[in-house]
Amino acid sequence: MAQTLRTDVVIVGAGPAGMLLSHLLEAEGIESIVVETRSQEYVASRIRAGILEHSSVELLTEAGLGARIEREGDEHRGIYLQWPHERHHLDFVDLTGRSVWVYGQTEVQKDLVAARSAAEQEIFYEAAEVTLHDLESERPAVTFTAGDEPVRIEARAVAGCDGSFGPCRAAVPDAVRQTWERVYPYSWLGVLADVAPSTDELIYAWHPDGFAMHSMRSATVSRLYLQVPNGTPVDQWSDDRIWQALATRLGHGQDGWELTPGPITDKSVLPMRSHVQTPMSHGSLFLAGDAAHIVPPTGAKGLNLAIADVALLAPALGALVRRGDEGPAQAYSDTALRRVWRCTHFSWWMTTMLHTSDDPFDAQLQLSQLHWLATSEAGRTGLAENYAGLPIGF
């Protein structure tokens, strides 16, 4: 016999979208249970996003999750954009009055786990065979096994926060869902290194050899990326080769700037794609975060979009569960998709402007756009507005 539990919302996935949703729902007076296939340690240790936009920090702070960001995060006024012989600082604060914060996804996840465990949030880790039921009814359910025990959770709604490989997005019937996809013809080789960053703010570099980026996690840890061809095996890139390529692509040939190398502690190749599935809800199922959309990381938007989705979804589920008011839940998909498509476009634009291809025509258009950004305040303001983030509910 399956153990049967009842709650207001079953949340599938304990990544940032799922954990933040459970936190925001509690503030709405709504109960939830979180179901996650991986272990708590695995979810906590994934190295992913590094930048929180202005609205994300505001939201996390309002939700009582801002103390460590304020203490340990690093507020940045903007970014550097560069190409051979030129490096330009774009000051988002001067341009739009908004800043961004360097605060890793691993840290956001730690803060969420601490807050949820203080609130005694019920979370099933290492759940197997997670299956969704009766999504077109007002009494949907999720079943899974925990250890050897079958468990069934019945609720008023299911939140699909299970990332790009989870089962929730596929639970929307084929006849209803539409997907849009763009696979980019390059990947990122990402490294984490135990060395002080050689820059005060992030550098996004166009170079004939390919894009490179210098980011960071703290005063002693740097995060760097190189454009590589799709399918590149990590072991083709020795540490020496990586540092040499980074020095070439990030060097801009002026004022003696140098990249300081150091011990590399993590190395991986990330494919780049855009993917959007619509609608973001069906019946009693609501998708949020990577379960509904993926963006290439060049715009630093993935985590921020997940945060923005659940900021809309929590009050919508609050109205549904507490008052039986379906209006905000029905509007959720359209409202969330406005921001999703804006960020999908921005991420595509940053990606295609900065990654080199074999086509010399593309290179001329890219350099022309970069020159425009360097010389036009209107151009820079557009980039800044998108990078530092539009208000939630835009």
Q: Is 125 a catalytic residue?
A: no
Residue nearest to ligand PHB (CB): 50
Selected catalytic residue, list 23, 293, 301, 355: 301
Instruction: Tell me if residue 219 falls in helix, strand or coil.
Output: coil
Residues between 76 and 105 that touch ligand RFL (CB under 6 A) = 105
Q: Which of 16, 210, 279, 297 is in the footprint of ligand PHB by CB under 6 A?
A: 297
Alpha-carbon gap, residue 216 to 210, rounded angstroms: 20
210 binds ligand PHB (CB under 6 A): no
Q: Is 186 a catalytic residue?
A: no
Alpha-carbon gap, residue 382 to 112, rounded angstroms: 32
Alpha-carbon gap, residue 330 to 34, rounded angstroms: 23
The entry of ligand PHB, ligand RFL, none near residue 163 (CB within 5 to 8 angstroms by kind) is ligand RFL
215 binds ligand PHB (CB under 6 A): yes
Q: Is 301 a catalytic residue?
A: yes
For 324-352, b/e burial (b = at least 16 CB within 10 A) is eeeebbeebbebbbebbebbbebbbbbbb
Residues between 123 and 142 that touch ligand RFL (CB under 6 A) = 127, 130
Q: Which of 14, 21, 33, 51 is in the footprint of ligand PHB by CB under 6 A?
A: 51
Residue 264: both structure tokens together = 């590399």
What CA–CA distances, in Å, run from 60 to 73, 93, 173, 286, 385?
13, 20, 34, 21, 20
Instruction: Tell me how far, at minimum, the Cβ of 100 lies from ligand PHB, in Å.
Output: 9
**Residue 3: burial class (beta carbons within 10 Å; 0-12, 13-18, 19+):** exposed
Q: Which of 22, 25, 32, 36 is in the footprint of ligand RFL by CB under 6 A?
A: 36
Q: Is 387 a catalytic residue?
A: yes
Stretch that binds ligand PHB, among 9-17, 29-37, 259-267, 297-305 (CB under 6 A): 297-305
Q: Is 297 a catalytic residue?
A: yes
Of residues 76 and 169, the one with the C-beta less far from ligand PHB: 76
Q: Which of 9, 13, 98, 191 is in the footprint of ligand RFL by CB under 6 A?
A: 13
Instruction: Tell me if residue 168 falls in helix, strand or coil.
Output: coil
Q: What is the dihedral sign for C-alpha 121, 122, 124, 129?
A: negative
Q: What is the largest CA-CA distance in the chain?
A: 72
Of residues 129 and 377, the one with the C-beta less far from ligand RFL: 129
Selected catalytic residue, list 204, 252, 279, 282: 204
15 binds ligand RFL (CB under 6 A): yes
Are 144 and 129 a contacting pair, CB within 8 Å?
A: yes
Could you give the residue numbers annotated as active site? 76, 204, 297, 301, 387
